[in-house]
Structure 1
Amino acid sequence: MPEASPLDLERDQDQDLRDTVDQLYNRFQQTAAATHKRIADAIRSNPHVFVVFEE
């Protein structure tokens, strides 16, 4: 199997590769946003676990 490079995405020669990478990147963006929200919710729900206030 030949290796792919970022230049392959800029060329019109491999539209299948571009479509696949676009789909994966969109999925990554959605998953990252959802993960960020879950982490933020966990920290807000349990600040004592994540934040230490000095007295």
Structure 2
Amino acid sequence: MGKVQTKNIDKNERYKIIGDFYEIVTNLRTKNEVIGFFMGLLTPSEALMFARRIQ
């Protein structure tokens, strides 16, 4: 997937996209659902970088 430059996306569209992402994440109910979601979304390297970032 290519990089996204936020300046090229309308402010309202950015809020909608991010809001949709948050909505999906908050609807995950179990740890296994969360694991499955992020395993499908992130590469192992990305998952490690993400985990380190929020540590």
TM-score norm. by structure 2 comes to 0.40
Larger radius of gyration between Structure 1 and Structure 2: 1
TM-score norm. by structure 1 comes to 0.40
